[in-house]
Copies of this chain bind each other. A is one copy, B any other.
Amino acid sequence: METKRVTVSAVEELIGLYFPVLDHGFIGVRDYMGSDASIEGAARGSYAYGNRQKTDQRQLLRYLTRHRHTSPTEFVEVVVHCAMPIAVARQWIRHRTASVSELSGRYSLMPMLFYTPTDEQIKRQSKSNKQGREGELPKSVVWEWTHDLDQSRDSTSRLYEWATENDIARELARIDLPLSTYTVWTWKIDLHNLFHALSLRCDLHAQWETRQYFNVLAGIAKRLAPISFEAWEDYHFYAKTFSRMEMQIIREFLRQPEGFNGLEFGLPKTEAGEFLAKFDEPTYQNFDLDLTQAKPAEFFENKFREAAEG
């Protein structure tokens, strides 16, 4: 189709392709609006008269990001079609400034597809990060659990199918489905709110399963507005914020640079650890999408329809 709108060929390329996520999920771009050029245009409007423009696009976009002038990034939008375990959907939906149209378990049959973690992902309750996972479990525990999960989903999905076949209302029949059941939605978000969501959900402390989805979303954002994305990486994602107290220590050290080792500057113990950790090299993440992993939209559409309608 012909359009006079701003067009981004690196995203055009994605339309019609779906990226697999976890064992049954996917993300595919449905629609988008804007680009780095739209952000630039919205920003330049605010100082249109009586100023000589000196900055180039890249300089301007990085300035905006660095100084948190985020309004212009709201003019870029992306729409994705996604399938994810309900447990993931429950975290995802907390990003309120977005639009969602979800498969309804009241109207529709739910697909009998359930998320099973791979053995490598099944870990201990983390001691340091009280909400995460960390550390090897005995193989026997892993195997017994995944075996029990399999059995549990078997009986759960048989019960769901029995109930819907016996005409029990779908809104009731679904209440016994586990949080690992896949749901499907169309999701729309603007780039400002997407960057905010990525900062939280691509973080290594986010739940691993949810992170797999947001890594793909990051890859999409990187193609949609590459200069703004790089600026987000440089000034937000890989940036470090030092508290008022930490800044005093750094300033002190700059005057008397004899090492941070004997850190007895009065920070509480937890914060002293966090302070030092800020100087570690971050774990850089590669947000590039691997297009060879993507499949045509129909592949997933058929899979989910079959899983729902049997």
Contacts and interface: CB of A to CB of B under 8 A. Distances in A.
Contact of A1 (B2, B126, B153, B247): B2
Contacts of A253: 257
B239 A169 contact: no
Given A3-B1, A241-B240, A51 B152 contact: no
A71 B48 contact: no
Interface string A103-122: 11111111100010100011
Interface in A36-52: 38, 41-43, 45-51
Given A48-B103, A48-B308, A71-B101, A243 B66 contact: yes
A242 interface: yes
B159 A176 contact: no
Q: How many copies does the complex hold?
A: 4
Given A234-B243, A238-B247, A45 B75 contact: no
Interface of A: 1-7, 12, 15-16, 30-34, 38, 41-43, 45-51, 59, 63, 66, 68, 71-72, 74-75, 77, 79, 81, 85-87, 89-90, 93-94, 96-97, 99-111, 115, 117, 121-126, 130-134, 137, 141, 145, 148-149, 152-153, 155-156, 159, 162-164, 166-172, 174-180, 184-186, 188, 190, 200, 207, 233-235, 238-247, 250-251, 253-254, 257, 260, 268, 270-271, 274, 278-279, 281-282, 304-305, 308-309
B79 A33 contact: yes
Given A3-B3, A75-B79, A49 B178 contact: no
